[in-house]
Amino acid sequence: MARGLSREDRQGLTLIGLPFGYALIMLAAPLLMVITFSFWTQNYLDIDRTLTLNNYREVFSQPIYQALLWRSLRISLIVTIVTVTLAFPVAYYLSFHVKRRKALWLFLITVPFWTSYLLRVFLWKVILGYNGVLNSALLEVGLIDEPLTFILYNANAVVLTLAHAWAPFAILPIFVALEKIDRSLLEAAEDLGDGPFRRFWRVTFPLAIPGVVAATLIVLIPTVGDFITPKLVGGTDGLMVANMIQIQFGKANNAPLGAALAVTSMVVVAAISIGIYVAGRKIGGRVSR
Partner 1 sequence: MKRGLSPRWLTFYVVSYMIFLYAPVILLPMFAFNDATIIAFPLSGFTTKWFGLLWTTDALHKAVGNSAMVAVVTAVVSTLLGACAARAAARYRFPAQKAVIGFIMLPLVLPEIIVAVALIVMLMQLGLSLSLWTVVAGHVLICTPFSIAILNSAFAGLDQSLEEASFDLGESRWGTFRRVTLPLVMPGVISSLLICFTISLDEFIIAFFLTGTDATLPVYIWSQLRFPSKLPSVMALGTILLVVSVGLLVLAEWFRRRAARRQGKGATSTEGFV
Binding to partner 1 in span 225-264, by CB under 8 A: 225-228, 232, 242, 245-246, 249, 255, 258-259, 262
Work out how close the CB of 114 gets to partner 1 at its nearest, in angstroms, rounded to a whole number. Answer: 4
Work out how close the CB of 156 gets to partner 1 at its nearest, in angstroms, rounded to a whole number. Answer: 15
Work out how close the CB of 48 gets to partner 1 at its nearest, in angstroms, rounded to a whole number. Answer: 14
Using CB under 8 A as the binding rule, the residues of this chain from 42 to 101 that contact partner 1 are: 86, 89-90, 92-93, 96-97
Is residue 13 a contact residue for partner 1 (CB under 8 A)?
A: yes
**If you ran DSSP here, which 8-state letter would residue 153 be given?**
S
Identify any residues that bridge with 174 across adjacent strands, giving them in sequence order: none
The span from the CA of 176 to the CA of 178, in Å, is 5
Q: Among 68, 127, 152, 208, which residue interacts with partner 1 (rule: CB under 8 A)?
A: 127
The span from the CA of 87 to the CA of 82, in Å, is 8
Query: Is 286 in contact with 207 (CB distance < 8 Å)?
Result: yes
Q: Among 204, 216, 254, 264, which residue interacts with partner 1 (rule: CB under 8 A)?
A: 204
Q: Among 108, 144, 192, 271, which residue interacts with partner 1 (rule: CB under 8 A)?
A: 108
The span from the CA of 83 to the CA of 164, in Å, is 8
Work out how close the CB of 13 gets to partner 1 at its nearest, in angstroms, rounded to a whole number. Answer: 5
Work out how close the CB of 103 gets to partner 1 at its nearest, in angstroms, rounded to a whole number. Answer: 4
Is residue 266 a contact residue for partner 1 (CB under 8 A)?
A: yes
Stretch that binds partner 1, among 52-60, 61-69, 146-154, 175-183 (CB under 8 A): 175-183
Work out how close the CB of 223 gets to partner 1 at its nearest, in angstroms, rounded to a whole number. Answer: 8
Question: Cα dist. 28→20, 22, 162 in Å?
Answer: 10, 9, 28
Work out how close the CB of 89 gets to partner 1 at its nearest, in angstroms, rounded to a whole number. Answer: 6
Query: Is 212 in contact with 84 (CB distance < 8 Å)?
Result: yes
Q: Among 51, 60, 112, 278, which residue interacts with partner 1 (rule: CB under 8 A)?
A: 112
Determine how many CB atoms are found less than 10 A away from the CB of residue 273: 16
Q: What angle do CA 40, 43, 49 make, to 5 degrees?
A: 30
Q: Among 217, 239, 257, 272, which residue interacts with partner 1 (rule: CB under 8 A)?
A: 217
Stretch that binds partner 1, among 20-28, 60-68, 77-85, 281-289 (CB under 8 A): 20-28
Question: Please, what's the b/e burial string for 62-87 (b: 16 or more CB within 10 A of its CB; e: otherwise)?
Answer: eeebeebbebbbebbebbbebbbeeb
Is residue 124 a contact residue for partner 1 (CB under 8 A)?
A: yes
For residue 48, what is the enclosing H or E element? strand 46-48
> For residues 111 and 141, which CB has a smaller minimum distance to partner 1 in the complex?
111
Question: Cα dist. 265→86, 232, 262 in Å?
Answer: 26, 21, 5
Work out how close the CB of 26 gets to partner 1 at its nearest, in angstroms, rounded to a whole number. Answer: 5
Query: Is 121 in contact with 233 (CB distance < 8 Å)?
Result: yes
Q: Among 51, 53, 67, 133, which residue interacts with partner 1 (rule: CB under 8 A)?
A: 133
Binding residues for partner 1, how many (CB under 8 A)?
Answer: 93
